[in-house]
Amino acid sequence: MDWTRLTKAAEEAARTPILDRFDRPDRARTFSVTAGDLLFDYSKTAMDDAGRAILVKMYDEAGVAARREAMFTGAKINETEGRAVLHTALRAQHGAEVMVDGQDVTKGVRDTLGRMDVFAEEVRSGALTAPGGARFTDVVNIGIGGSDLGPAMATLALAPYHDGPRIHYVSNVDGAHINDTLVALDPASTLVIVASKTFTTIETMTNAETARRWIANGVGDADVGGHFAALSSALEKTAAFGIDAERVFGFEDWVGGRYSIWGPIGLALEIAVGRDAFHAFLSGGEAMDRHFRAASPLENMPVMLALTGLWHNQGLGYATRAVLPYEQRLVRLPAYLQQLEMESNGKGVSMDGESLTVASGPVVWGEPGTNGQHAFYQLIHQGTRVVPCEFMVGAEGHEPELAHQHVLLIANCLAQSEALMRGRTLDEARAMLEGKFEDDELERQARHRVFPGNRPSTTLVYPKLTPFVLGQLIALYEHRVFVEGAMLGINSFDQWGVELGKELAKALEPVVSGKEGAEGKDGSTAQLVGYVRRYAG
């Protein structure tokens, strides 16, 4: 694919200040797209008609629509692992059959979801108790990456709907994480869910062993099994760990870890919010799937979100993008999107094994507003690098008695995108300081108060962060990643880049613990091992 068309078009368009684009009265409407009740406004970017037409042409040429259908219908588009990519089947509650290797997978999905519904309800109602008879007051989900970030993010996001037991997420192999979690809990009333697709991930298995010892010390060996459940594709391994098959919720290899919140990996979320809210979340995802499959590119929210991303990263060379939810409960969304986007599209080799001739996916980072405003927005407004900002905000909060605070929240969100676009000129800064300073000092002070402006942002607005809307949002971002990856020609569904570090960590463990020497290691690694060995207790 010839990406120079895009860079040329983007550079050309960027010569016109973004604000001037609004001389056209229909700018906002024509550079926005809706999906259900969601509105995505990308009008505060430099994108113009010509640039957008090139992006859509490139989208067509890349065959994204055909690849999208291949994904939804179970083709093995994850070519390096020989797997289908069917997280969409997990939320397809009303869909047609989907065949993989001659088998309809939807029946298995429905059966597992039905078992999750029952299990979650029994834990919530107290019908299922610990072997000692106590009701489960606390659930600890042990997992990492996709087996943690999704449900952890969503449990916080849906706090107003949380009426089940307390849910805790433990991910880090740092013993501090599980220690600080378990210290406040009573093993007699704690359910531990071991969430690992492979059931081999070192962090998860180490924490699971720690939890098993903690439960055994608290309630005795005989009752341990009654305190565990597992979410995994590796059923022999869950059995070997000693978890009863009835308490294992399996899923197939066509669900990628970072796309797995919609199935068994969402069990802790379902225990928190209950069946109806969890199903509403699935329905939101399914609604976005239908939109993504049916809408033409310009009317298609995931496609336009992706094309805006490519415009900024590959077209204008902005290497990072900030995700800025004005929604405190989406505090973990940036971390969730970091895995979704960077593990999916952070690759330098195309599907056919050739080096990419264009930048891979961007660095994604962020923090909820308004907190970020008092931390890193300084750089966003006046730093020398341009950071495209992706704002999002709900029209309504869940606290009617605090509606005035929500008004302030929205005003702040909209003010930031306006400030980024408008900036402040030197003349405006001088006028502002007139009478406060004089001559050279006025000039010097004024320069510090100049905002270059013309900085791009997009804003996604939704009615209220309900389970349905959260489902729409997450599926929207999943499909955005899909479109960007397909246009870059990379496989968004493998993650070979995480393997080398895992292998080296395994080899270093006996060196760090002192069972083996550091011979053969590079000087820096040997020095660091030496330091740790000297100071470790």
- Catalytic positions: 343, 374, 502
Which residue from 272, 390, 495, 518 is in contact with ligand F6P, where contact means CB under 6 A? 495
DSSP class per residue in 242-291: T--GGGEEE--TTS-GGGGGGTGGGHHHHHHHHHHHHHHHHHHHHHHHHH
Q: What is the dihedral of CA 271, 276, 278, 279, to 10 degrees?
A: 140
The window from 11-19, 75-83, 138-146, 453-461 that contacts ligand F6P (CB under 6 A) reads: 138-146
Question: Least distance from C-beta 203 to ligand F6P, angstroms?
Answer: 8
470: region left, alpha or beta (phi > 0 left; psi from -120 to 50 alpha) = alpha
Shorter beta-carbon distance to ligand F6P: residue 144 or 287? 144
Q: Which of residues 75-94 bind ligand F6P (CB under 6 A)?
A: none
The window from 140-148, 274-282, 321-329, 415-423 that contacts ligand F6P (CB under 6 A) reads: 140-148
Shorter beta-carbon distance to ligand F6P: residue 145 or 250? 145
Q: How far is CA 241 from CA 14, 170, 179, 231, 234, in A?
A: 58, 18, 21, 12, 11
Q: In b/e form, how buried is each residue of 268-296, taking b as 16+ CB within 10 angstroms? A: bbbbbbbeebbbbbbbbbbbbbebbeebe
Question: Least distance from C-beta 200 to ligand F6P, angstroms?
Answer: 7
Encode 28-93 in three state secondary structure: HHHCEEEECCEEEECCCCCCCHHHHHHHHHHHHHCCHHHHHHHHHCCCCCECCCCECCCHHHHHCC
Using only C-alpha atoms, what is the Rg of the chain?
25
Shorter beta-carbon distance to ligand F6P: residue 168 or 258? 258
Task: For residues 43 and 30, give the distance between their C-alpha atoms in angstroms, rounded to a whole number.
Answer: 8
* CB contact set of 103 (below 8 Å; sequence gap of 6+): none
Provide the β-strand partners of residue 133.
Answer: none
Question: Least distance from C-beta 16 to ligand F6P, angstroms?
Answer: 42
Q: Which residue is nearest to ligand F6P (CB)?
A: 257
Question: Least distance from C-beta 501 to ligand F6P, angstroms?
Answer: 9
Question: Least distance from C-beta 488 to ligand F6P, angstroms?
Answer: 19
Shorter beta-carbon distance to ligand F6P: residue 242 or 530? 242
Q: Which of residues 256-275 bind ligand F6P (CB under 6 A)?
A: 257-258
Which residue from 118, 395, 407, 498 is in contact with ligand F6P, where contact means CB under 6 A? 498
Shorter beta-carbon distance to ligand F6P: residue 431 or 505? 505
The window from 145-153, 155-163, 172-180, 459-467 that contacts ligand F6P (CB under 6 A) reads: 145-153
Closest by CA to 333, choosing from 345, 343, 323, is 323
Shorter beta-carbon distance to ligand F6P: residue 411 or 507? 507
Which residue from 139, 144, 192, 476 is in contact with ligand F6P, where contact means CB under 6 A? 144
Which tokens belong to 26?
Answer: 């229909």
Q: Cα 447 from chain centroid?
A: 39
Which residue from 145, 187, 263, 302 is in contact with ligand F6P, where contact means CB under 6 A? 145
Question: Least distance from C-beta 261 to ligand F6P, angstroms?
Answer: 11
The window from 27-35, 144-152, 285-293, 413-421 that contacts ligand F6P (CB under 6 A) reads: 144-152
Task: Say how many C-beta atoms besides its own lie within 10 A of residue 255's C-beta.
Answer: 25
Q: Cα 350 from chain centroid?
A: 23
Q: Does 347 bind ligand F6P (CB under 6 A)?
A: no
Pairing of strands 457-462, 38-41: antiparallel
Residues in contact with ligand F6P, shown as a per-residue x/- string from 224 to 263 under the rule CB under 6 A: ---------------------------------xx-----
Shorter beta-carbon distance to ligand F6P: residue 18 or 170? 170
* CB contact set of 102 (below 8 Å; sequence gap of 6+): none
Shorter beta-carbon distance to ligand F6P: residue 415 or 505? 505
Residues in contact with ligand F6P, shown as a per-residue x/- string from 394 to 423 under the rule CB under 6 A: ------------------------------
Shorter beta-carbon distance to ligand F6P: residue 257 or 394? 257
Shorter beta-carbon distance to ligand F6P: residue 43 or 233? 233
Task: For residues 241 and 225, give the distance between their C-alpha atoms in angstroms, rounded to a whole number.
Answer: 10
Kindly state the number of chain residues that form the binding site for ligand F6P, as judged by CB under 6 A: 14
- Whether residue 167 contacts residue 139, with contact meaning beta carbons closer than 8 Å, is answered with yes
The sign of the CA dihedral 23, 26, 28, 33 is: negative
Encode 424-461 in three state secondary structure: ECHHHHHHHHECCECHHHHHHHHHHCCECCCCCEEEEE
Eight-state DSSP code of residue 295: S
Q: Cα 161 from chain centroid?
A: 21
Question: Least distance from C-beta 257 to ligand F6P, angstroms?
Answer: 3
* CB contact set of 300 (below 8 Å; sequence gap of 6+): 33, 35, 291, 292
Q: Which of residues 185-214 bind ligand F6P (CB under 6 A)?
A: 196-198, 201, 204
Question: Least distance from C-beta 346 to ligand F6P, angstroms?
Answer: 12
Question: Least distance from C-beta 215 to ligand F6P, angstroms?
Answer: 20
Question: Least distance from C-beta 343 to ligand F6P, angstroms?
Answer: 6
The window from 79-87, 143-151, 283-291, 523-531 that contacts ligand F6P (CB under 6 A) reads: 143-151
Task: Say how many C-beta atoms besides its own lie within 10 A of residue 403's C-beta.
Answer: 11
- Sequence length of the chain is 537
Q: Which of residues 146-175 bind ligand F6P (CB under 6 A)?
A: 146-147
Binding site for ligand F6P (CB under 6 A): 144-147, 196-198, 201, 204, 257-258, 343, 495, 498
